[in-house]
Copies of this chain bind each other. A is one copy, B any other.
Amino acid sequence: MNTTTMVLDKVNNTEDLKKLSIEEMNILSEEIRELIMKKVNTTGGHLGPNLGIVEATIALHYVFNTPQDKLVFDVSHQCYPHKILTGRKEGFTDPDKYLKYSGYTAPEESEYDLFKVGHTSTSVSLAVGLAKARDLRGAKENVIALIGDGSLSGGEAFEGLDNAATLNSNIIIIVNDNDMSIAENQGGLYSNLRELRETNGKAENNFFKTLGFDYYYVDNGNNVESLINVFKEVKDTTRPTVVHIHTQKGKGCHNAEIDKESYHWILPGTLSNNNQETSNIESYESITADYILKKRDEDSTIIAITPATPGVSGFTKEFRSKLGKNFTDVGIAEQHAVAYASGLAKNGAKPILAVMSSFIQRAYDQLSQDLALNNTPATILVFWGGITGADATHLTKYDIPLISNIPNLVYLAPTNKEEYIKMLDWSTSQREHSVIIRVPATQVISTGIDDKTDYSILNKYEITEQGSEIAILGLGNFYQLGKDVKKLIQEKLDINPTLINPKFITGLDEELLNSLKNNHKLVITLEDGALDGGFGEKIASFFGASEMKVLNFGAKKEFTDRTSLEELYKRYHLTPELIIEDITKSL
């Protein structure tokens, strides 16, 4: 790239932007693109969505008077150009400040960012609220929601559109149609979007018009001038309005234009290494994919499901292609995904739905009503559950409180490969329970010995190392931490604690727990998730009226935001040393 980014030097805020000529804005687009590629190639991050939205972001800030006019980003992983134009360009020009700003909109960074957002399909509803509040206050600003075509499949987006259409005042919804979700788009809606693109917005069938919106179409959504013209036209409209813009995801980066899925989000260095080697190391993702393929060869009713996030679970393009009709990507539609799985199970198929911990949150009621209440034998795999240093919008520590307090569900926590496979075997062969497995979010641990456990005997914990005085319940990911704690207790306190692998998150092994009373005085619980509403509290409640002391270890109830795991483990006392300190205090 050019080392002198001439136009951007003049642009420190949106006022500066308004002084540029169209030609300068075209140059600025290229400059921003170069900066984003360089930055993302260094830190990793969302590439394709940001490259596609550069011109639209410039045109929006050129035409509208942000932040008085209010701009809400859906998911907000396409906000990098916006950040560059709203006082935060140092986060892209200065490598030392690459990590200073969040990859999502963040009100604490700038008044141009309205909401902290990272889950999809929320922007329209939030914008309807902003617009209605404006009307109640008698104010006049424009309210704009920027939503990608992929996010439109999410139910919350539809609820928002349905309501926005009746607002009877100013709301402008920019539909950024790049013909892609993270992977390919799925759903009937997308055939209509295609029809609209192919007819330059003139097709008789028009989803947005059926809901009552005024409708505008921009075929070249990467042309600043076209965008400016349309945005000027709709500015200060008094009607709910959709501007459907056709953009190119990954624009300006050859590989990202060709392989939109792989370059949606990239790891550091992806753009500099032309041929990244595919990792051949076994992972729980690869174990899952291999398992499903093998199982499908034996049973044609096995069906794998993803809600638009195949990468989370190792559902590669090759895997999907091999599965064929035994695979469904439902699009961004977690609610449907769960109910769909329930319907499949009810009618004799064996669905395996894979979903990231943070996104299963979008389907609580479906887990409860469509699934648990009906005891349909679907299998749900929750990936990435655990405490992480992620953004506040993508925390994965709430799945245990979310799932484990719903009746009937069997939520399992394997601690190694063999347990995981045995649990999959059991779940897909039984017809009595809805089973959820918290796939270990660790490196693969293999005992090399087949697990012989009969998981149809629910809530049976395993004492893996019998000892006395202290019992350690190491749940799932934290079973290994339990082992480390045991070792340190032996060294430091001259006590040989009992180590227990609970395996079942959703129930208490009352017999085993009662038996501990004989020769233990302290039980400690270790869970890789939020304590509030989680596993450990149930153990504490169980022993509440007894002489047994209980210490619960896990995460505090708080939204952390890109806080390092090291810092979190320190804060939550999740190292063997800190755990021993707490044990010593309570003995």
Docked complex Cα distance between A347 and B114 (Å): 9
CB-CB under 8 A from A115, the residues of chain B are: 342, 346, 370, 374
Contacting pair B136 A162 (CB below 8 A): no
Known: A132-B344, A155-B335. Contact between A544 and B533, CB under 8 A?
no
Which of B136, B163, B351, B374 is the one whose CB lies under 8 Å from A300?
B136
**Minimum Cβ distance to chain B for residue A344 (Å):** 4
Docked complex Cα distance between A131 and B347 (Å): 8
CB-CB under 8 A from A159, the residues of chain B are: 153-155, 158, 330-331, 333, 335-336
Q: Does A127 contact B (CB under 8 A)?
A: yes
Which of B340, B534, B559 is the one whose CB lies under 8 Å from A125?
B340
Docked complex Cα distance between A131 and B211 (Å): 28
Docked complex Cα distance between A54 and B110 (Å): 58
Query: Which of A6-14, A44-52, A199-207, A252-260 binds B?
Result: A199-207
Q: Does A401 contact B (CB under 8 A)?
A: yes
Which residues of A in the span 97-131 have a Cβ within 8 Å of any Cβ on B? 107, 114-119, 122, 125-131
Interface residues on A, range: 35 or more
Would you give the 0/1 interface string for A119-153, flagging 1 where the beta carbon is closer than 8 Å to chain B? Answer: 10010011111111111110000000000000001
Contacting pair B340 A129 (CB below 8 A): yes
Which residues of A in the span 534-558 have a Cβ within 8 Å of any Cβ on B? 534, 536-538, 540-541, 543-546, 549-552, 557-558
**Minimum Cβ distance to chain B for residue A483 (Å):** 22
Docked complex Cα distance between A446 and B132 (Å): 36
Contacting pair A404 B533 (CB below 8 A): yes
Which residues of A in the span 338-359 have a Cβ within 8 Å of any Cβ on B? 339-349, 351
Q: Does A451 contact B (CB under 8 A)?
A: no
Contacting pair A340 B163 (CB below 8 A): yes
Known: A392-B373, A544-B549, A544-B551. Contact between A326 and B362, CB under 8 A?
no
Query: Number of copies of this chain in the oligomer?
Result: 2
Which of B135, B328, B336, B540 is the one whose CB lies under 8 Å from A156?
B336
Q: Does A402 contact B (CB under 8 A)?
A: yes
Docked complex Cα distance between A331 and B349 (Å): 34
Contacting pair B211 A189 (CB below 8 A): yes
Known: A156-B339, A162-B331. Contact between A344 and B133, CB under 8 A?
yes
Q: Does A301 contact B (CB under 8 A)?
A: yes
**Minimum Cβ distance to chain B for residue A574 (Å):** 16
Would you give the 0/1 interface string for A151-179, flagging 1 where the beta carbon is closer than 8 Å to chain B? Answer: 00111111111111110000000000000
Which of B127, B131, B158, B540 is the one whose CB lies under 8 Å from A540?
B540
Docked complex Cα distance between A116 and B373 (Å): 7
Q: Does A272 contact B (CB under 8 A)?
A: no
Docked complex Cα distance between A107 and B209 (Å): 40
Contacting pair B370 A125 (CB below 8 A): yes
Would you give the 0/1 interface string for A505-535, flagging 1 where the beta carbon is closer than 8 Å to chain B? Answer: 0000000000000000010000000111110
CB-CB under 8 A from A543, the residues of chain B are: 540, 544
Q: Does A314 contact B (CB under 8 A)?
A: no
Contacting pair A339 B401 (CB below 8 A): no
Docked complex Cα distance between A537 and B392 (Å): 26
Q: Does A95 contact B (CB under 8 A)?
A: no
CB-CB under 8 A from A161, the residues of chain B are: 188
Docked complex Cα distance between A373 and B107 (Å): 11
Nearest residue, chain B, Cβ from A156 = B335
Known: A154-B159, A543-B544. Contact between A133 and B206, CB under 8 A?
no
Known: A125-B343, A156-B335, A541-B531. Contact between A365 and B362, CB under 8 A?
yes
Q: Does A192 contact B (CB under 8 A)?
A: yes
Q: Does A570 contact B (CB under 8 A)?
A: no
Residues of A within 8 A of B (CB): 70, 72, 107, 114-119, 122, 125-137, 153-166, 186-189, 191-192, 204-207, 209-213, 240, 300-301, 303, 325-326, 328, 330-331, 333, 335-336, 339-349, 351, 361-362, 364-366, 368-370, 372-374, 392-393, 398, 401-402, 404-408, 522, 530-534, 536-538, 540-541, 543-546, 549-552, 557-559, 582, 585-586
New A-B pairs, 11, CB < 8 Å, besides A131-B347, A133-B347, A162-B189? A72-B343, A114-B346, A125-B339, A125-B370, A130-B343, A187-B211, A188-B210, A207-B210, A373-B559, A541-B541, A544-B549
- Can you list 23 contacts pairing A with B, beta carbon distance less than 8 Å? A107-B374, A118-B369, A122-B366, A125-B335, A126-B343, A129-B341, A129-B344, A129-B349, A130-B346, A136-B300, A154-B159, A156-B339, A159-B336, A161-B188, A162-B187, A162-B189, A162-B331, A205-B209, A369-B393, A373-B559, A406-B557, A531-B541, A541-B550
Cβ-closest 9 pairs across A and B: A129-B343, A155-B155, A165-B188, A125-B339, A159-B336, A133-B347, A188-B211, A405-B533, A533-B533
